[in-house]
Structures are given as C-alpha cells and as structure tokens.
Amino acid sequence: MGWASGHIARLKCGETVSFRPRGNSMAPRIESGQRCTVEPVDVATLRAGDIVLCKVHGTEYLHFVKAVQGARYQIGNNRGGINGWIGPSGIYGRLVRVDP
C-alpha cells in the first residue's frame, strides 16, 4: 500500500478526494502540503498537461500526463523527470483544484 491507496479506493467508488501531498517534484504548480482535490476521470478525455493521480511501476504519483499515444499515457513530474508509460487502468483521477 502506498500513500494514496485510500484515495484511489475512494476514486474507484466515484468519490472526489482531497489531500495534501508532500514533495517538490511538482513545484511550483503544486507546492508541498497544498490541498489538492482530485475527481474520478474518464481517461478518454485526458490530454497532455493534465495532472492525474496514477500508479506507474507500482508507485503512486500526482503527476502530469506528458504525452498520449492511443491508450497509453506518459507520466512525469514538473522537474523534467519521466516516470513511464501506463494504460488507462493505472489512472484513477484528475486534479481539479489546488488550495493553500
């Protein structure tokens, strides 16, 4: 179980979740400790630039969709890092709001 497992379970049930992730990989877009609200998403609507709660190679991230190729999504942070490619089953929700 990772830091977002409980949030992922709620998103899978159709709930919107809010949490305060820690870390600097998404700064300045999301600063460590800011309140993030994530809603369930139809992955067919995702575009490069969206921020998603996802799992890549077993690790949970709140990171950007960097590219879309058919039903594959490249995930990365705001520091130039790339986590990898995932399918739609690895994406659980889209960021809709960031608050202090």
CATH of the domain at 57: 2.10.109.10
> What is the pTM for the complete model shown?
0.96
Q: How far is CA 18 from CA 12, 22, 61, 66, in A?
A: 14, 13, 14, 23
Give the model confidence (pLDDT) of 67-94 as tens digits: 999 999 999 999 999 999 999 999 999 9
Note whether 17 and 8 are within 8 A (CB): no
Beta strands in the chain (DSSP E): 17-19, 35-39, 51-56, 59-69, 72-76, 82-86, 91-99
Give the model confidence (pLDDT) of 25-63 as tens digits.
999 999 999 999 999 999 999 999 999 999 999 999 999
Domain holding 26, by residue range, is 5-99
Give the chain's length.
100
CA distance 2 to 73: 21
Domain count, the chain: 1
Q: What angle do CA 86, 91, 35 make, to 5 degrees?
A: 130
